[in-house]
Amino acid sequence: MRMLRVGRWITGIGLVLLAAVYVRALAFTPVERFQGPAQKIFYVHVPAAWCAMLAMGLVGVAGILYLLLKDPRFDRFGEASAEVGTAFSMVMLTTGPIWAKPIWGTWWTWDARLTLTLFLFLLFIGYLVLRGAVTEPGLRARYSAVLGICGLGLLPFIHLSVYLFRTLHPQPIVLKPSAPSLPGPMLVTLLMSFGVFTLLYVGFVVQRYAFSYLREQLEAAGGDVGHA
Amino acid sequence: MPETVPANAGYMVAAYTAAALILVGYAVLLYRRTRKL
């Protein structure tokens, strides 16, 4: 299937470029003098958080479009985006505490931003568990769409939580009304990482979408296909 | 301003390793699942 091959190519290119981002971030980007080398975790943590939020946003948009148009492609896309978003959430939730330990002195604190991002991860898991539990396709798509829309509603609270509540988490330095507050070389590395993570998101989603489509075709043809 | 830069490169290495394992692991998982079809 052409879509599957395209997805594999995009993912392959994304992984090669990820290696390039690693080299640039670790070897050619200056060390921040207050936080030390641990600050470089920023270049994987922030883009992973961006992709997790992008994934949930698109799950929500796909949910709205499914409820309006009843087109199964939106349901398939929502499933693909949710699974990929789970992977990026895992990156966000592992790199965040590893960064927090040397800077804040603790792996985790139950403040608004961290708790809401954990909630985002649990929403992804809940979405996937829900899809595994409901066997009737129409009902599964409807329930999933509603849960995806709830996830979309969570995103503004995550972004604004650092303004609305007292939190240890730093405020945005790029996605804010004024200009990014980063020195040039750091900003270039961050923007490269944003691009590569987004490319990986696209590659993963295209592959995952193609997988769902092929599985449905095989099921329709009477083949025995596991719901892995 | 700190006199010396904090020595915490181990955390950086751990985070980059974890991120690579998750992303490459998921890419391999996807590849294997689609190959089985």
Which of B7, B16, B26 is the closest to A44 by Cβ?
A: B16
**Residues of A with Cβ-Cβ distance to B34 under 8 angstroms:** 4, 8, 207, 210-211, 214
**Range with lowest mean pLDDT among A103-112, A159-168, B9-18:** A159-168
B35 close to A (CB below 8 A): no
Fold adopted by A2-30+37-172+180-219: Four Helix Bundle (Hemerythrin (Met), subunit A) (1.20.120)
Kindly identify which residue of chain B lies nearest to residue A43, measuring between CA atoms.
B16
Q: In this complex, is the C-beta atom of B34 within 8 Å of any C-beta atom belonging to chain A?
A: yes
ipTM for this model? 0.93
Contact A91 B18 (CB under 8 A): yes
pLDDT value for A228: 47
Average confidence score pLDDT of chain A: 93
Is A18 in Cβ contact with B20 (below 8 Å)? yes
For A18, which of B6, B18, B23 is closest by C-beta distance?
A: B23
In percent, the amount of chain B with pLDDT more than 70 equals 95
Q: How far are the Cα atoms of A145, A166, A205, A206 from residue A4, in angstroms, in the given order?
A: 24, 45, 10, 7
Closest CA in chain A for residue B6: A36
> What's the rounded mean pLDDT across residues A112-125?
96
